[in-house]
Homo-oligomer: A and B are copies of this chain.
Amino acid sequence: MKKTVKIILGSVRTGRAGKAIADWVMKKSEEYSNLNFELIDLKDVDLPFLDEPVPARMSNDYVHEHTKQWSKTIQEADAIIIVTPEYNSGYPPVLKNAIDFLYSEWNNMPVGLVGYGGAGGTNCLCQLIEVLNAVDMKVVDQKVTISEIWDAIDENGNVKPEKRQGDILTIFKQLENELCS
């Protein structure tokens, strides 16, 4: 049975560019038939600021229904791709909050990263990798970073090659390798 990669869209802001980037990742995934791909929009997940009384690292006996549901969503993934904007050299609060809600669910999960922003999203990815290491995820080597985001998408919904570093198909391949190793 095919393994499932869930793509987390880490921006919920009005006017976000992230939806177009996530749609592009989904479109590229049609070229890669070894894995199933699903999009998770954190706008739909709609978590509040972390409100569990006990940190997830200490217990996954969650109090809130929204936490149980989010836990189930992540447990049903075999690997993750995070699509994230960079705000002020860091990660968006809505993304970090979704990570902080869980712990054991993330452990040993392979994860690929797609960052974007005016300056490319690399600063954000550097900070995010430290967080993902803290929850014991396995970050694959290949990263995609997209700069000048306001001019990065062409009329067919593709990210222009000159605005992009890294290869999304290589991320898919590296996730598959992690899942089969």
Contacts and interface: CB of A to CB of B under 8 A. Distances in A.
A50 B93 contact: yes
Given A88-B134, A100-B87, A13 B93 contact: no
- Copies of this chain held together in the complex: 2
B134 A94 contact: no
Contact of A14 (B51, B87, B134): B51
Contact of A93 (B12, B53, B55, B97): B97
A52 B16 CA distance: 11
A176 to B, nearest CB: 26
Interface stretch (A25-33, A73-81, A123-131): A123-131
A68 interface: no
A130 B89 contact: yes
22 contacts: A13-B50, A13-B51, A14-B51, A14-B53, A15-B53, A50-B87, A50-B93, A55-B87, A88-B96, A88-B99, A88-B131, A88-B134, A89-B131, A89-B133, A90-B91, A90-B96, A90-B130, A91-B96, A93-B93, A93-B96, A93-B97, A96-B96
8 closest A-B pairs (Cβ-Cβ)? A93-B93, A93-B97, A88-B134, A89-B134, A89-B130, A90-B131, A14-B53, A93-B96
